[in-house]
Amino acid sequence: MQPALPSYKRWTDLNGKKVLVRVDFNAPVHLVDGKLEVSDDFRIRATLPLLDDLIKQGAQVTCMTHFGRPKGQPTEEFSVAPIRRRLNELCPGIDLLENLRFNPGEELNDPEFGASLVEGFDYYINEAFGASHRAHASIMVPPMLLPSAAGPNLQREVSTLLGALENPVRPFIAIVGGAKVKDKLAITRVLVEKADVVIVGGGMAYTFEYAQGRTIGSSLFDATNVDNCRELMQTEKVRIPVDSLGLKSDQSFGSAAFSDPVIVFGENIPEDSMGLDIGPLSSAAFAREIQEAGTILWNGPMGVFEDPRFAAGTEAIARAVAQSPGYSIVGGGDSVAAMQQFKLESEVDFVSTGGGASLELVEFGDLPGLRALRESKG
Ligand code: AMP
């Protein structure tokens, strides 16, 4: 277990102090009457408890964030102006620096750029869990130069995820899905070690199925990881689907050909077909296990849930997670989007905001941005 992260509550007199807060306001925007506006302000609202508290204590607060991928160049498309407008509607009197990624020094972790950010500030707070797996300048440099602390959301994300891994109420059931085995193999390994049952679904499951000697047609497949999947299956903790929904692969998936018949496959998928969702027997079997859970950690959809023909598996799992009496943690952009799509977001105990950051925290038990805070002087 890592030592605790430093809290900003130890600063007892913030009156008149200048506080720099690294946030993750990388929010979706859309055009309204020719003007870009924030379409989902969840990430901004999530920081309000901290920002309001700092203002109440008399601090002068400046936030900084990355926004999109402008590749080190200022462009109007990636200006934080719409985010600043929304922030000031929700919390007047807070400054927001221009997009950190307008300067190539941000992603290069350039010490000079990092030092330029903290000039004139008294304190630094990292409230950007979703960016803390990246060794970028705004995450790594300020803790070397200013008294620094973890914001309350960052603290909560870390203690919830690590708490579930280190001290779960059992049985601890992990669910992993999504497209690629190679992206999820490391976290699956850790979960096989820590959890009692690991349910594998989504496109990544087909490589596990292939490793069991089944035919998978033209479903997603990663030849380089067959041995790794076979090795994980030997633990007997891993559950894989026993049926699939899919299409004949000469039918053009993705072209929204709603008239194409959806086929239910058993354990084997014919050569001319592909699996795009877990089938009803798998959904029911997985849901039964999830009902018994003491702790649930879910990352990654069970199928191509963006297409309503292949959303049933992900929805069944989302409902089982929502209804389970176990403590439920849902992480990763796609699983969170699925919970929202099925209007079940409020039914889970904890929604982790950082996709890549939650994966890396589970995998490594720590993140570069957290280490920087723990090593901070003052
Ligand atoms: P990831 O980003 O790895 O969590 O993957 C999420 C994506 O995986 C979603 O956009 C799903 O549409 C996709 N996905 C899930 N299951 C399958 C599948 N069986 N075949 C192809 N794509 C899938």
Q: Which residues pair with 22 in a beta bridge?
A: 64, 126
Tell me how far apart the alpha carbons of residues 353 and 24 are, in angstroms, rounded to a whole number.
Answer: 10
Q: Tokens standing for 77?
A: 């498309």
Residue closest by Cα to atom 5 of ligand 1: 178
Pocket probe for ligand 1: among 185, 200, 334, the residue whose CB has the most ligand atoms within 8 Å is: 334
Tell me how far apart the alpha carbons of residues 330 and 327 are, in angstroms, rounded to a whole number.
Answer: 10
CA dihedral sign, ordered 52, 56, 59, 60: positive
Phi and psi angles of residue 362, each rounded to the nearest 5 degrees, phi first? -65, -40
Residue 202 alpha carbon to ligand 1 centre in Å: 6
In this structure, the strands spanning 29-32 and 35-38 are antiparallel
Residue 220 alpha carbon to ligand 1 centre in Å: 9
Residues touching ligand 1 (Cβ under 6 Å) are: 178-180, 183, 202-203, 220, 275-276, 300-301, 303-304, 306, 332, 334
| Spans of the chain, pLDDT less than 70 | 1, 250-259, 378
Q: Which atom of ligand 1 is nearest to the CA of 301?
A: 15
Is the CATH number of domain 8-151+370-374 3.40.50.1260?
yes
Q: Tokens standing for 155?
A: 């603290």
Residue 108 alpha carbon to ligand 1 centre in Å: 31
Nearest to 38 by CA among 75, 3, 87: 87
Residue 304 alpha carbon to ligand 1 centre in Å: 5
Residue 238 alpha carbon to ligand 1 centre in Å: 19
Query: How much of the chain is helix, strand and coil, in % rounded to 5?
Result: 40, 20, 40
pLDDT at 333: 72
pLDDT at 256: 47
Residue closest by Cα to atom 2 of ligand 1: 178
What are the helix (H) ranges across the chain? 42-45, 48-56, 81-90, 104-107, 111-118, 137-140, 142-145, 152-166, 181-194, 205-211, 226-233, 280-291, 312-323, 333-341, 355-364, 368-374
Cis peptide before 171 (omega within 30 of 0): yes
Tell me which residues are annotated as active site.
Answer: 43, 180, 333, 356
pLDDT at 334: 86
Residue closest by Cα to atom 1 of ligand 1: 178
Q: Judge if 8-151+370-374 and 170-325 fold alike in CATH terms.
A: yes
The pTM is what? 0.92
pLDDT at 323: 97
Tell me how far apart the alpha carbons of residues 359 and 268 are, in angstroms, rounded to a whole number.
Answer: 31
pLDDT at 377: 76
Tell me how far apart the alpha carbons of residues 174 and 358 are, in angstroms, rounded to a whole number.
Answer: 14
Pocket probe for ligand 1: among 304, 315, 330, the residue whose CB has the most ligand atoms within 8 Å is: 304
Instruction: Give the other-Cβ count within 10 Å of 15's Cβ.
Output: 8
Q: Name the CATH topology of 170-325.
A: Rossmann fold (3.40.50)
- Report CA Rg, the chain: 22
pLDDT at 241: 98
CA distances from 377 to 11, 12, 142, 145 (A): 14, 17, 10, 8
Q: Which atom of ligand 1 is nearest to the CA of 303?
A: 16
Name the 3-class secondary structure at 231.
helix
Instruction: Give the other-Cβ count within 10 Å of 192's Cβ.
Output: 21
Residue closest by Cα to atom 6 of ligand 1: 178
Single-letter amino acid code for the residue at 336: V
CA atoms within 13 Å, Cβ hemisphere of 67: 26
Tell me how far apart the alpha carbons of residues 63 and 95 are, in angstroms, rounded to a whole number.
Answer: 6
Residue 70 alpha carbon to ligand 1 centre in Å: 26
Extents of the domains making up the chain: 8-151+370-374, 170-325
Tell me how far apart the alpha carbons of residues 188 and 176 are, in angstroms, rounded to a whole number.
Answer: 7
